[in-house]
Structure 1
Amino acid sequence: MDHFSTDRLTAERLNEDHLADLVALHLDAEVSRYLGGVRAPEVTKTYLVTNMAHWDEHGFGLWTLRSKDGAFAGRAGIRHILVDDVDEIEIAYAFKREFWGQGFASEIASALTDIGLSQLALSSLIGVVYVGNGASRRVLEKSHYLLERNTNRHGEDVVIYRIRR
């Protein structure tokens, strides 16, 4: 599933051509506040390579997102991560600031959940959210994820939300 669309977004499988957009996204301090902080371009390049390899290994991963007019909007996806030494599959999303507060995160979370549970037939998905990120918590709650627990990830207090098939 290299491409998909929602009402207002088109998604394309992550590839090398997306590096400049990802670098700009990850250099924005406000966007990166709940992503572990601003990432240097070299770190984003490693991130891109790692996430392209995820596609090759698992058949799913991250997509870049564009608005219907073609403007880069952000990134989102479904990927394996380790949480408390357990292999989990999370949905993740990050948008440029000009796309905040317009329902894009809820739109993509709903699409990712449907892809993960219905099309990929995964048994469950999680969302990992910094405790203080109220907006992202509300997105997951609106998408019917249930708060499962608190934990610490990379030195940050986070909450784990889960939805099951």
Structure 2
Amino acid sequence: MDQFVTERLTAERLNGSHLADLVALHQDPDVSRYLGGVRSAETTKAYLGINMAHWDRHGFGLWVLRTTDGAFAGRAGVRHILVDDVDEIEIAYAFPRSLWGRGFASEVATALTRIGLAELALPSLIGIVYAGNVASRRVLEKSNYLLERSTDRHGEDVVIYRIQR
């Protein structure tokens, strides 16, 4: 599933041509404050390589998002992640500040949940959110994820939401 479409976005499988857009996204301090901090171009390049390898290994991963006019709109995906020594599958999304507050996160969360549970037939999905990120918590709650627990991730307080098939 290299591509998908929502009402206002198109998604294409992550590839090397997306590096410049990802670097710009990851270097915005407002965007990155809930992603573990600003990332250098070199760190983002490594991140890109890891996530492209995830696609090769699992057949799913991160997509780059574009608006209907073709403008970069962020990244989102379904991917394996180790949480408290347990292999989980999370949905993840990040958008440029210019698109915040316009419902894109909810639109994408709904699509990722459908892809993960219905098309990939995964038993459950999680969302990992910094405890203070009220907007992302609301996105998951609106997508019928249930608060499961709190934990520490890389020295930050996070909450884990889960939805099951």
TM-score class normalised by the smaller sequence? over 0.9
- Taking only the aligned residue pairs, the percentage that are identical comes to 78
**Alignment partners' CA distance in 1, 2:3 and 2:58:** 16
Structure 1, unaligned stretches of length 5 or more? none
**Alignment partners' CA distance in 1, 2:55 and 2:118:** 18
The residue that corresponds to 2:153 in the other structure is 153
Structure 2, unaligned stretches of length 5 or more? none
Calculate the TM-score normalised by the size of structure 1: 1.00
Detail structure 1 runs of 4+ shifted over 4 Å in the superposition.
Answer: none
The residue that corresponds to 2:90 in the other structure is 90
Superposed CA offset, 1:85-144 (max 9, x none): 000000000000011000000000000000000000000000000000000000000000
1:135 matches 2:132? no
The residue that corresponds to 1:27 in the other structure is 27
**Alignment partners' CA distance in 2, 1:31 and 1:135:** 12
**Alignment partners' CA distance in 1, 2:102 and 2:40:** 28
**Alignment partners' CA distance in 1, 2:70 and 2:151:** 38
The residue that corresponds to 1:51 in the other structure is 51
**Alignment partners' CA distance in 2, 1:157 and 1:83:** 13
* Structure 1 residue 15: Cα displacement: 0.1
* Structure 1 residue 70: Cα displacement: 0.5
1:162 matches 2:162? yes
* Structure 1 residue 2: Cα displacement: 0.3
The residue that corresponds to 2:7 in the other structure is 7
* Structure 1 residue 54: Cα displacement: 0.1
Calculate the TM-score normalised by the size of structure 2: 1.00
Superposed CA offset, 1:52-103 (max 9, x none): 0000000000000000010001000000000000000000000000110000
**Alignment partners' CA distance in 2, 1:68 and 1:154:** 36
Give the count of matched residue pairs.
165
**Alignment partners' CA distance in 2, 1:127 and 1:3:** 21
